[in-house]
Structure 1
Amino acid sequence: MRINKKSLFYILLPLLAACNKDPYMPNGPATQIELSSNSTTYGNNNDADQKLSTIRYMTYNIHAANPPSQPDSTDIKAIAKVITDANPDIVFLQEVDKNTGRNKYSGDQAAAIAGLTKMNYSFFSSISYLRGLYGVAILSKYPLKSIRKYYLPKEQPDHEQRVLGLAVVDLPGVDSLVAAVTHLQHNSATSRVAQINEINSVMAGIKQPVLIGGDMNANPSATDFITAFDAGFTRTCTSGCSNTYSAQSPNTLIDYLAFRPATAFTVNSHNVINETYASDHLPVISELKINR
């Protein structure tokens, strides 16, 4: 008997839920269930561990691991070092290649970075590219469960497909939250608003705390976008925030970390890391106090 991906997800869901507090995800089917290109190697069997009091998370557009100063090359180790040095619990990556053959590297970038940083990962493809895939990814020190992917709306048929990747993070001590990664349309303000509104709609069905990060391609002066974003999330920085792009000459802020609900966390710190070699974006990291 042939079982499709959607059916397989619902067969596996009770097994995923049994390992920890019930992972609650939105009602109804996701656009696509992503059951491949992910790993859960680290942090298993953590229910007897002490719950976390704080959590650190990062967003990083890695430019397909191509250092801007080194055309037609990749430096996976440089990306991994940025992450290792910052020591986040969860990382949201954008512009991630898988088997594309671009820049003389044909491997699975999410898997390679996860291996070097000793983190679990899930890759969420958005488009086919150069006989491979291109998209976003989540890295985590703790197991990733109930992995789901949603296609976001496009204003024009020729616009690049954008996605929302979700995963339940199995935290220590019978505890969990939902991690969400995205990368929004670069050349249409109305598409970005439609996409964040769709994300807000998905989030309305999630009862657990949510951490989100990504390259939103909108700066704080984009009033319509920021109004919609703030309707669904609390940003980790709202005033006096450092620019994130370009890494070599930062003149705009387009990379964000946020969370929901507002009462679930308190921002302990928010920093833009001044790393100018590995990518054309600067990584952003925040530490949150978990309110219990």
Structure 2
Amino acid sequence: MAEQDEIERLARRLAQLEKKSNAEINDLKENLKKAQEKSNADIVDLTANLKQAQQALEEHVTQSQEERTSLIDSNSNRSQATRGDMWHVIGNKEIDEAPSNAFKQPQFRLSNDLCSVICATSWKRLPFWLSVLIIAGFQLTLFVLLLIDRVGSKRWVDFGGECDGSDLFCRHERPLDMPPNVEPLVRGAQALCLIIALYDQDDIRDGLEGFYAGIPVDYKGSTHFRNMTRSRWNLSCFFRMLQGILGVLCAFVLLVQADTVFDVLLNFLGVKFIAGELSSSLLRLDYFDHISYRR
């Protein structure tokens, strides 16, 4: 009887354990099923996100290649693509502080002279009027007075007799008062100085290029350059071109009228002083800093 009770008790115990294990197995199956469903959903979301990222990357690469190709095609062979920097709008507009694109249009630099000060600074500021005074009041005036003195005030003759120059048949005693019978060394010095003067003279070319290209669109530099206007830009180009023309004429007249090598060099240095040293006097006061601009 005791053994039968023990067997029944063990049987009930075994049934309870079997029932408990079955419940745990069912729970494990349900948890595994939920985990599989969640992992499948995560895989689907990850696949969709990866596909969207690939599409965005392909669109960005295509757009970058198109922009780079268009910019490179529009640039000249000498232009170089640059990166970074902050560019600002010219013409009394608010400054655009957005970073520039990776590749830019061809860049130019304003010359470090007083004509650039005229076009790049406001007419209300002192550097503008000092630049106009130095260019118009000193450089151009000295060039004109020099030409009048060396060419316009010469003695006129008419078949050996003097005249006042009002007669159409009057002529110069010698063209440009060139000294005759000078030494070959002097002629060589004159030719060499003329070549140097023409090679070093770029104001005429810069003035014509400025008129042709027009005012730049934006720039990189100090904030006051946003006041650049078309009228001051054209005025600076006119001053630069006129200064170059008068400088070449004065250099030619003074060089051909010299009769010694010392006079040739002295006249050449005098013209270079008027054209260059006076222009740099204001720049030494740090009124002007280099700026880059693009059209």
Normalised-by-shorter TM-score class: under 0.3
Give 1 or 2: higher helix fraction: 2
Give the TM-score normalised by structure 1: 0.20
Q: Higher strand fraction: Structure 1 or Structure 2?
A: 1
Structure with greater contact order relative to length (CA < 8 Å, sep ≥ 6): 2
